[in-house]
Amino acid sequence: MAKLILLRFGELWLKSESVKKRFLTILQRNIRALLDASGIEHSFKASRTRFFIETKEYERAIPVLRRVFGISSFSLVTKTDVNGLEKEVLLLAGTFKKTDTFVVRAKREGTHSFTSQELERDLGALVVGKYGFKVNLTKSDNTIHVEVRNSDAYVYAEVIRGAGGLPLGCEGKVIGFLTRDKKSLAAVWLIMRRGARAMLVLSEKGAKKHIEVLRKFDPHIKIAEGTNLLEIAEDYGAAAVVVQEQLDDIGKYADAEKIRPLAVFRPLVGMNEKGVDEIFVRMQK
């Protein structure tokens, strides 16, 4: 059976059809750009509700896909059909420890002679009959995920968290004001996660270390030369500056009087230190 990486889109489904179509086109381009930048050979397939990546380099692809804004989660799946579903579920369950508990979670799209709940029940009974594992519906050691889409079926055990947000480039451009503090890195990352492309301005010595972290999310990220933010913004087509300010230090890192008519984005303004640390750790994965 075929091994694929199944990609999910998350909040993109909240958009109108025309906006969603445009965002998914951008997302597809971004996925391929990051995989290509990492030298990962792959083929790409799209359905109405999912993207699929086929590659022989699954392990290398996983950390790359975690950095694509717009992907909410993804899984390494085995593709089969409805007739081969029981076989693949049993093969997956055969990798569990004898003392493990399990649960089956099923999703279904299309017209079938069974419901999702019936599929969970029948496949769970099949695994119990074969291996004797105990079922735990609330806190299991293993989850067997099954997605049936018309005549196709996908079986997998793990859901890997993606970067989420919106595809990079679906919104406007901003100036990323970087200091040596990791807060500035977190602030720019959060704005990029909302779809904006950033031109990085290094305001202090030591800020350069942040470039390579952000380049993992945007291999074509640009570095500004000069110190005049208005000129940089005009050349780049940016309408805003992103700064690291929190509630108690507003005005410390960007003088609004000097950069009008640019807007100032402060994504960390309502965040405490723990929240910043969590973002920083997430960026490093």
User: In this structure, are residues 7 and 29 in contact, taking their beta carbons and an 8 Å threshold?
Assistant: no
Mean pLDDT, range 101-126, rounded to an integer = 95
Q: Give the global pTM.
A: 0.90
Q: Where in 152-216 does DSSP place strands (E)?
A: 152-156, 160-161, 173-178, 197-202
Output the pLDDT for position 148: 95
Give residue-wise pLDDT tens across range 8-31.
988 888 888 999 999 999 999 999
Give residue-wise pLDDT tens across range 119-165.
999 999 999 999 999 999 999 999 999 999 999 999 999 999 999 99
Whether residue 86 has pLDDT greater than 70: yes
Output the pLDDT for position 259: 74
The CA–CA distances, whole Å, from 136 to 23, 146, 268 equal 39, 17, 40
In order of their start, the domains of the chain are 2-161 (3.30.2130.30), 173-284 (3.40.50.620)
How far apart (Å, rounded) are the C-alpha atoms in residues 229 and 11? 33
Rg over CA atoms, the chain: 23
Mean pLDDT, range 79-98, rounded to an integer = 96
Whether residue 61 has pLDDT greater than 70: yes
Which band of pLDDT confidence, cut at 50, 70 and 90, is reported for residue 282?
A: confident
